[in-house]
Each structure stands twice: as C-alpha cells, then as structure tokens.
Amino acid sequence: MDTGGNSLPSGADGVKRKVSYFYDPEVGNYYYGQGHPMKPHRIRMTHALLAHYGLLQNMQVFKPCPARDRDLCRFHADDYVNFLRSITPETQQDQLRQLKRFNVGEDCPVFDGLYSFCQTYAGGSVGGAVKLNHGLCDIAINWAGGLHHAKKCEASGFCYVNDIVLAILELLKMHQRVLYVDIDIHHGDGVEEAFYTSDRVMTVSFHKFGDYFPGTGDIRDIGYSKGKYYSLNVPLDDGIDDESYHYLFKPIMGKVMEVFKPGAVVLQCGADSLSGDRLGCFNLSIKGHAECVKFMRSFNVPLLLLGGGGYTIRNVARCWCYETGVALGTEVDDQLPQHEYYEYFGPDYNLHVAPSNMENKNSRQLLEDIRNNLLENLSKLQHAPSVQFQERPPDTDLHEADEDQDDADERWDPDSDMEVDEKRPLPTRVKREAVESERKDWEAPKGVAEQARGFDIATHDIASTKSVDVGPMAIDEPAAKVELETSNKASDPMYPKP
C-alpha cells in the first residue's frame, strides 16, 4: 500500500493550502522534571527543522496570545483554573489536599511556569480555531497543543488544560458540526467525555486498548442521548503497522466525512503511535502516520492540526516536521539539513525511520470485525444532524498587529492565492515570530449571552461524568502577556506511566 507523502497528488489534494502556524519561542524551556517523558523541548526541535527546511517561509507564523483565566473557564472549573494559576513548586507542600483533588503531582507534576505553559499551548489551539473561523487559512497548526486527557476538574496523563475542547468550542461558533480525530496511541478520553452527549461534535479515536492508559475507549462506547453513535472508538493491539492502520482509518474516516459532513476537522497527531516510541507499542512509520494527515487534508475542510503524545523526541520532531510539509503540499527531503539539534538525529541523519520487525497482534479477522462494527454504527446515522436555527455569537474581532512592514515571518507562499498588500523577498531563515495582536472583547446580544451562560452552567456539571449537549457559545479571545520561564533540558530515563 502506498503510504508516501513526499509526492502529493497533483489533483485537488495536491493544491497549495494557506497554513497558519502557531509557535512560542519559550515553549521549549518548560520542564516537567528529571526523568519525566514529556519534554516540551520537542516543540523547539520541530520548529528548528521547519526553519532549516525552509517551510516557515510558506506559512503565516504567529506567536500565540496566551489564554486568559476566563478563556480556560469556558470548559474547566473555576477552582481548578485558580489552582493551576496559584500552585508553584515552592507552595505545593502546603496544598496536598488540593494536589490530590485535582490529580496533580505524579504524572502531572508541578513545575516552574506551569500556568504559563497551559496558557501558551491553549492559546495556540484557540488562536488556530479563530483563524479557521475567519477564513484566514485553510489549515492551522499548533504542535504544542493536543493535550487530550485533561478533564473539567483535573489533570490527567501529562495534560493540565484541554486545549482541544476549547478549540472545538471556538469552532462551534461558526460551524454546526465539528469532527475530532485522534491518532495518538492513547485514547482521547478528555475530549470524548466533554462531548459525549452532543450530536454537533463527533469524536473518533484510534488507540491501544487493553491494559493501557487511560483504560477507556471500548468499541462499545458510542455516545449517549443525542450523542449516541457520535463517539467512535477504534481499539487496537500492539504492533499495528501502516497497512493495517489504514485498512481501518480510510474507510472509517471516509464514511464519517460522508455521513457527518463536518464544517471543520480537528486532528490530534500524537506521535507516540510511531514505531520506537518510549511509551508506545505501535509500529507506524512517519509516512504511515502522516498518511492520516494527508487523507483528512484531501477533503478540503478547514483543518486544525495539533500535537499530543510522543516521547522519543527526535522522532516526534521528524514526524511533525514531515506532517507540516504534508499540510503545505511541499516535498521534504529525507536528508536532514544541518541545524542546532542535528546531533539528536544520528547516526543516519535522515528524516524517516524504518519501522521495526515487532509482531503485529492485530489479525485480519480482528481488523475486519472492528471495521464492520464501526461502519454499521455509522450507517445508523442516516444524514448529518439538523441543528435548530438560533442566533450565532458575533465574530471575534481579529486585528492583526501592524508589524508586517518589518516582520519577515508573517508571509504567504508566493503560489498561494491569499491576497497580500505587498510582495517581499523571502529570507531563508526565520528571525522572529509575528505576534497576534490583542483582540477586542465583544459582548454578545442578550439572547446569545443567555445561551452562553446556559452552556457555561451546563459544562460545570461535567466533572468526571459524561457531558451535556453543546450549544453555540462565546469564547473570549486570549490577550494576556506570556511570562518568561527558563529551565534545563530534561534527562531521558524511563518514567512509569499508569
């Protein structure tokens, strides 16, 4: 089976896309602690590859505006957000009850700049959703996002704030239906839970199932009430390879797109499903992983690409660099360019890594049973769900910072059909990121504001149970200033994950 992505089709899927890319230069400084497998440094490594491959020149580059308290509280509980804002390594011993209550301390440690880190990665995902809503790009990318385990009232699985839920809520302001697809090796439990009773958000998760964190995602979990059949779970066993993965992925996602007809798609590209991941047990190649991006891109629906898991960080950087190229429709050479992290990629210094010879425990019969089961469930959705007409919240004002005269990074590919005020030479290296301007707050009309308040109240009932239905709501645009945090690189011993 062809799972290549270097040579994209020359037809509709091969055309250029307008891509907005969100990156904060400080994100690589956040440090979960010695021995912890989650290393935000991988985002900086990915960015370095993008810069030296010249891919940044073909995208509009933004430094995300950090999400504010009230932005995070559109989904998360007020007291949980207050806790994240106030807790520090120096004060955590005085708040042991709170640490236990909010599941913070082991998998999800307290570290310097924790809240700023949450604000940054959430701001990038919501910012990407805003760009898509306003038609300013076709694809938005935030590799720092995709932290899919966080719940309304607690941290989980290295995730503190669920940026995905916040981005989906933003997309729902403009789109009646939003599709969430998760190719991380771990089940996307936090996102599924948030929208479990909604027919406006369909969640589809491909994941390792069995004695594996978080332990959820059974094929029989299909949603509840109005959300019945709008949650799809694809439980997989160890060693799944590219061919087996796409034997499921393509027909299932093709049927989902046909039946659900989403206005926007959010794709969580967790790289721990790659072969050789420290915490993973799948056997996907980078091309096989990226084939999912390529397939979802082919539908020409507004697409938000997010990061997620991934703990062999050199392969994470390889994967997300390659998938950025797929998003752009750009060929990426297998020979890595010289750059500041070049030594991480020895001894071959190539972009692609061959899968291992591990056993694929997913038999053809198992795959057929899963595929038939899920396609049957999808057949019970006869058509895209209708949504009662209601007044939509006004568009969020997007006033770009007046920095394009001297900023070399806020630019479009010359082949793009995006209109720009003037043409400038495209330098070979990125010097600094374009900063999204602070946007004005807006006030919804009375009826819409009442709807939003009603949803806010409803989401506070989510807690650790399945959520209520989703209605359109207003999410204020992030506008706070980021705090500067510094730390050392993490070391690399194995860290136990439940």
* DSSP letters spanning 434-489: EEPPPPPP----HHHHHHHHHHHHHHTTTTTS----------PPP-PPPPP---PP
The string over 179-191, giving b where at least 16 C-beta atoms fall within 10 Å of a residue's C-beta and e elsewhere, is bbbbbbbbbbbbb
Number of Cβ within a 10 Å radius of residue 357: 8
Which residue in the list 36, 41, 47, 149 is annotated as catalytic? 149
Are 168 and 266 in contact by the 8 Å Cβ rule? The answer is yes
Sheet containing strand 264-268, edge to edge, reads 231-236, 201-208, 178-182, 264-268, 303-306, 139-142, 19-22, 60-63, 434-435
Give the residue among 301, 319, 302 at the shortest CA–CA distance from 310: 319
Instruction: Count the Cβ atoms, other than its own, within 10 Å of residue 342.
Output: 14
Q: Which amino acid belongs to residue 96?
A: L
Q: Is 149 a catalytic residue?
A: yes
Cβ contacts of residue 325 below 8 Å, gap of 6+? Answer: 5, 53, 55, 331, 332
Length of the chain: 498
Helix (H) or strand (E) holding 122: helix 114-133
DSSP 8-state assignment for residue 337: P
Give catalytic residues, as residue numbers.
149
